[in-house]
Structure 1
Amino acid sequence: MIISAKNQQIKNLIQLNKKSKYRNEKELFVIEGIKLFQEAPKERIESIYISESLFNRKEHVSNLKDFQYEVVKDDIFEKISDTKTPQGIICIVRQFKHVFEDLKKQANAHFILLEDLQDPGNVGTIFRTAEGAGITGIILSKSTVDIYNPKTIRSTMGSIFRVPFVYVEDFYQMLIELKKSGIKTYAAALDGERYYDQENYNRSFGFVIGNEGNGLSSKALSLVDSGLKIPMEGKVESLNAAIAAGILMYEAYRQRR
């Protein structure tokens, strides 16, 4: 049993939880909770830590019979947990290495592109919705919030394990490359030329979603093929980024069903 916060494994877990740079250097990330453990690809799990109290509840430990794990004293486990009410299980998992070239080869590939989104909840919700709507993959600008941030991971509710995603160094160049590849891009924009349900999405395409506060940059807007608007009543000026993305994705899904 691990009983000290000075244990090197505990120090490593704290670093992985708190520091994006450290996660990327080690090519690892942390997941927490029974649901995420059950949904994680077992071949990617590097190590498992369970709290002393969970260990004493034998009905849950039976789920771990095929794994090696470390038991952690409860007060130490609280130090490595990123939640207020820890469920008693934390895993270190190897990061994913998806390749965009492989994704775009798929017939009628459809993507979500995120430019500089900063809210972990928004990005996580977009991942969940993307899985439900059958999106091929998600492309993120390098300054978009880290998908391996513990809060983002929890918000995906497991979709991080099933929806391919790629961070790109040059978001604008990616938009240019998509156009060269015949993949049409649509920006969610207040002054879009057409309503979102007036387009035909039975082809390869990408929806481009901008920062929560500022929307898409002017350069990104200049590079997309078309702007789409969502009709709204009352005095509402815009929708939450995840909500807007969800409306667009499910219209495309409706057309493809």
Structure 2
Amino acid sequence: MSTPLTVGNGRVKEARKLSRRSVRTERRLFLADGPKAVEGALSVAGCVVEVFATPLALEQHAELLAEAPVTLVDDRALASLSDSVSPAGVVAVCRHLDAPLEHVVRASPRLLAVCADVRDPGNAGTVIRTADAAGADAVVLAGQSVDAYNPKTVRATVGSLFHLPLAIEPDPAAAVREAQARGLTVLAADGAGEVDLFDADLSGPTAWLFGNEAWGLPEDLAALADHRVAIPIHGRAESLNLSTAAAVCLYASARAQRR
């Protein structure tokens, strides 16, 4: 077994730079932290460039890492690559996964999640995870949304980032129009919507449009949707948070499409 690299090693330092969005964007590389994320990354051909692992982690995850390009590092070096409070001992350097919007919708998706200006990495990651669980065909992060490759976003997806297509589209309106051009009905999740979620016809190809955590969807963007749909609030809560609302909407569509 080779001697583990230390925190001052050049390769470790270069990988650590991927904690910055500008470097991730320039290199189109990111870090996947923890065995679940690394497992997902290894399931995508050509995604993983290198896996850093401690000797203990290599022993614990021997089956997972058997065919992986593993570089041994000591505990301090691994901790410098992880933003987790308790690093699990394994971090992969991965290639970006996103594809152009037109490629993502080319395959005639039936269920699409479009996030417009979603800023919280935990929310964005949870929406991706929920979309995966609900059987959605793709997720679009549009506008000024958080970086899909932010370590907190990647961790919140719990591996789902590697399971379904992802598009990053600077113009949310373009995402709406492209979905409509491909035959999807665009439904804006809006607390003041004119259609009750449980009265809506969700059986056809649908793209759900979700807005910012604090201020929702801009009026001009919501106006582009085919319908505005409200989740009924039966109790005294003012509203649902973004990731919960997305889960309710996506699963309502998944149920209707599978009847």
- 2:187 aligned partner: 186
For the 8 Å contact 2:6–2:76, the answer to whether it is kept is: no
Listed one character per residue, the Cα deviations across residues 98-145 of structure 1 (whole Å, up to 9, x for unaligned) are: 243333343452211111111111111111111111111111114111
Listed one character per residue, the Cα deviations across residues 202-248 of structure 1 (whole Å, up to 9, x for unaligned) are: 22221111100111111111211111111112332210101111111
Cα distance in 1 for residues equivalent to 2:60 and 2:7:
27
Given residue 215 of structure 1, which amino acid in structure 2 is its aligned partner?
G
Given residue 11 of structure 1, which amino acid in structure 2 is its aligned partner?
K
Normalising by structure 1, what TM-score?
Answer: 0.91
1:29-48 equivalent positions in 2, closer than 5 A: 29-40=30-41, 41=44, 43-48=46-51
Distance 1:106 1:3, change over 3 A: closer
In the alignment, structure 1 residue 15 sits paired with structure 2 residue 17: yes
Which has more helix, going by share of residues? 1
Distance 1:183 1:68, change over 3 A: closer
- 1:223 aligned partner: 224
Shift of 1:77: 2.0
Cα distance in 2 for residues equivalent to 1:84 and 1:173:
39
- 2:115 aligned partner: 114
- 1:81 aligned partner: 82
Name which of structure 1's ranges 240-249 and 182-191 shifts more when overlaid on structure 2: 182-191
Cα distance in 1 for residues equivalent to 2:199 and 2:76:
56
Q: What's the secondary structure of 2:61's corresponding residue?
A: helix
Given residue 158 of structure 1, which amino acid in structure 2 is its aligned partner?
G
- 2:7 aligned partner: 5
Give the percent of matched residue pairs that are identical in Structure 1 and Structure 2. 28
For the 8 Å contact 1:46–1:92, the answer to whether it is kept is: yes
| TM-align CA RMSD | 1.9
In the alignment, structure 1 residue 50 sits paired with structure 2 residue 53: yes
Given residue 121 of structure 1, which amino acid in structure 2 is its aligned partner?
G
Cα distance in 1 for residues equivalent to 2:165 and 2:64:
27
Which stretches in structure 1 are left out of the alignment for 5+ residues? none
Q: What's the secondary structure of 1:220's corresponding residue?
A: helix
Listed one character per residue, the Cα deviations across residues 18-69 of structure 1 (whole Å, up to 9, x for unaligned) are: 21111111111111112222222253210011124435xx353454332332
Which stretches in structure 2 are left out of the alignment for 5+ residues? none
Normalising by structure 2, what TM-score?
Answer: 0.90
Listed one character per residue, the Cα deviations across residues 153-183 of structure 1 (whole Å, up to 9, x for unaligned) are: 1111111001111111211132233334432
Cα distance in 1 for residues equivalent to 2:63 and 2:197:
49
Cα distance in 2 for residues equivalent to 1:108 and 1:30:
29
In the alignment, structure 1 residue 68 sits paired with structure 2 residue 61: no
Q: What's the secondary structure of 1:112's corresponding residue?
A: strand
Q: What's the secondary structure of 1:64's corresponding residue?
A: coil
For the 8 Å contact 1:53–1:74, the answer to whether it is kept is: no
For the 8 Å contact 1:98–1:164, the answer to whether it is kept is: yes
